[in-house]
Amino acid sequence: DVKVTQSSRYLVKRTGEKVFLECVQDMDHENMFWYRQDPGLGLRLIYFSYDVKMKEKGDIPEGYSVSREKKERFSLILESASTNQTSMYLCASSLEQGAGEKLFFGSGTQLSVL
């Protein structure tokens, strides 16, 4: 089975801190995604990557950046955390761009910014 691992289940940070959320997948997937999930708003795409060193903005990229130096690892960076970035962050991966390729999700990181 595909495993998508997020480094932290819960994280508490202070306003203005730089925050790194790490995601690793073990099935050689090309595509990786970062979503945030908020009550009443569903999952919203922050950034995605379809290859090493490639990144594309999703629907809500402001305040975030990403890094994909290795195929298996996709990092989400909050350059200066703010309280409105308190959320559940979900990483996902999929095999390739072909039709029908489902997403495999990590367990999520609940980030609280105080």
Partner 1 sequence: GQNIDQPTEMTATEGAIVQINCTYQTSGFNGLFWYQQHAGEAPTFLSYNVLDGLEEKGRFSSFLSRSKGYSYLLLKELQMKDSASYLCAVRDFRGSYIPTFGRGTSLIVHP
Binding site for partner 1 (CB under 8 A): 4, 33, 35, 40-45, 48, 50, 56, 58-59, 90, 97, 99-100, 102-108
Alpha-carbon distance 33 to 50, whole Å?
A: 9
The Cα-based distances of 34 to 30, 55, 60 in angstroms read 14, 11, 10
Q: Which is nearer to partner 1, 11 or 43 (CB)?
A: 43
* Residue whose entry in the numeric block shows the structure tokens 């995604």: 33
- Supply the minimum distance, in Å, between the C-beta of residue 112 and partner 1: 15
The candidate with the shortest Cα–Cα distance to 47, out of 38, 58, 36, 37, is 58
- Supply the minimum distance, in Å, between the C-beta of residue 15 and partner 1: 26
What letter would DSSP give residue 48? Answer: E
SS3 11: strand
Q: Which is nearer to partner 1, 84 or 100 (CB)?
A: 100
Q: Which is nearer to partner 1, 1 or 69 (CB)?
A: 1
Q: Which is nearer to partner 1, 14 or 68 (CB)?
A: 68
Other C-beta atoms closer than 10 Å to the C-beta of 36 total: 23
List residues bridging with 80 in a β-sheet. Answer: none
